[in-house]
Amino acid sequence: MRYGTTMTAAIVMTLVVAAPLAAGAADEKAQTTTQEAKTMASDSWLTSKTKISLFADERVKMTQISVDTANGVVHLRGKVDSAEAKSAAGDIAQAVEGVKSVKNDLQVVAPAARQAVDANDKDIAKAVETRFGKDAQLKKVDVRTDSGVVTLTGQVATIGASAKASEMARGVPGVKSVKNQLAFAK
């Protein structure tokens, strides 16, 4: 009987000690989820504020600029008329309150050459998407092309699939380089 009482006491004690730990883990998960939601909302807010600031500044023609934000880092993509406009766009984005840093991938393309570049970029993106459409692992990869530079975004299952995507995109005529920003599914 004494052994049974000792064992029961040990089990009860284990449960008493484990309960706060389990509650702490649940609380930690709730805090992590809350923080992720705040970050997403904050990133959306930074993207909006950056777009408004770029639109309001006469040095930059906003129609050719795409703005994305992740964890406070603003990413600028697209085409501008001059190196001064590219620099101004980076400075404007950096001046937005709450922006941690700016990744300025804007391409400088003279207005006269822009129409030919835009048409070629569409053809390149379509060719890459067609190749990816034939591979089940790469069907959901997003493809963006700016001045012959292909940017790959989205999720793939493995690092091998990511490498394959880069290799396939590089094989398309007209591709100058590939920026692989694919994430791996967890």
Residue 124 in tokens: 């390149």
DSSP H helices in 57-110 = 83-95
Residues 6+ apart with CB under 8 A from 163: none
**Chain-centroid distance, C-alpha 182:** 9
Residues 6+ apart with CB under 8 A from 92: 50, 53, 54, 57, 60
Q: What is the pLDDT of residue 58?
A: 86
Task: Give which of 107, 171, 182, 104 is closest to 138, Cα–Cα.
Answer: 182
Q: What is the pLDDT of residue 144?
A: 93
Q: What is the pLDDT of residue 175?
A: 87
| pTM of the predicted model as reported, rounded to 2 decimal places | 0.51
Q: What is the pLDDT of residue 73?
A: 93
Q: What is the pLDDT of residue 174?
A: 84
Low-confidence ranges of the chain (pLDDT < 70): 1-41, 62-63, 112-119, 186
Q: What is the pLDDT of residue 104?
A: 93
Residue 64 in tokens: 């050719």
Instruction: Report whether 29 contacts 41 (CB < 8 A).
Output: no
- DSSP bridge pairs for 103: 75
Strand pairing report for 73-80 and 177-184: unpaired
Domains of the chain and CATH, by start: 38-108 (3.30.1340.30), 111-184 (3.30.1340.30)
Q: What is the pLDDT of residue 80?
A: 87
| CA 82/CA 91 separation, integer angstroms | 14
Strand pairing report for 142-146 and 149-156: antiparallel
Q: What is the pLDDT of residue 57?
A: 87
Residue 167 in tokens: 């290799």
In order, the DSSP letters of 135-183 are: STTTTT-EEEEETTEEEEEEEESSHHHHHHHHHHHHTSTT--EEEEEEE
| CA 30/CA 137 separation, integer angstroms | 33
